[in-house]
Amino acid sequence: MRKKIIAGNWKMNMTFDEGQKLTSEIVNMFKDENITDVQLVLNPPFPHLHPVKKLIGDTKNVFLGAQNCSDKESGAYTGEVSAKILASFGVTHVILGHSERREYFKEDNSLLTEKVKQVLANGLTPIFCCGESLEIREAGTHEPNVKFQLTDSLFGLTAEEIAKVVIAYEPIWAIGTGKTASSDEAQQMHQTLRKHIASKYGQEVADSISILYGGSMNAGNAADLLSKPDVDGGLIGGASLKSRDFITIAKSY
């Protein structure tokens, strides 16, 4: 059975005190409300990793993630953080290829391939993001465009390796715009991605991979989106900064 995953991407938000308060609220709500069949992944900015990990403690099904990592193992790369370093802090998941990294920092598929390899080599789970802009969606080329992102970055992996990857589909036109893909549109793209993986690795592998929706999922639309058979969770932005909203999403299955 595929894992149900709700991952919170804090992006560049939260001071130390704010992050501590948010984490404490989420962890306590998660335990108090007896949520047992969903995994939470908290992805704060790098300086929060150790203090957030301490608050998570040994809470079952709550994991620590990072928002990015280097494509290099170690060395003279000022300002970068390696997967090896992240693993030493108790990180278990790493977001890679987020649309903001692709757009603002010009990360391309070949770079993301190397990052995925580093994450896997250190026993961590990549949350690999893919998605299309409004221009591509309106041109009707969104399916081949997003499939190419998978092919170019991930299809050099072995079946055993890709089975360890979590995919996050981001309709970029629905991030921070107030728009969201309908649940049927989300299902169509998730199904397309799963079929594309199956074409390379077989149906059994494709059926084992969790595909998250990353297009402004919130407490109001989560239940509808998560009701779809190929939507296995969410990569949550703004709503992950509000503890009640984040937990409501986790309870929306």
Is 88 within any annotated ligand binding site? no
Is 131 within any annotated ligand binding site? no
Q: Kindly report the CA angle at 188 between 235 and 195, in degrees rounded to 5?
A: 95
CA 207 to chain centre: 18
User: Could you give the CA distance from residue 48 to residue 34 in angstroms, rounded to a whole number?
Assistant: 26
Is 79 within any annotated ligand binding site? no
**What are the phi and psi torsion angles at 95 (to 5°)?**
-75, 130
Is 237 within any annotated ligand binding site? yes
**What three-state secondary structure class fits 112?**
helix
Is 173 within any annotated ligand binding site? no
Is 13 within any annotated ligand binding site? no
Q: Any idea which residues carry the catalytic annotation?
A: 98, 170
What burial letters (b/e) apply to 23-45, b meaning 16+ CB within 10 Å? Answer: bebbbebbeeeebeebbbbbbbb
Is 11 within any annotated ligand binding site? yes
| Relative orientation angle of helices 16-32 and 49-56, to the nearest 10 degrees | 20
Binding residues for substrate: 9-11, 176, 216, 237-238
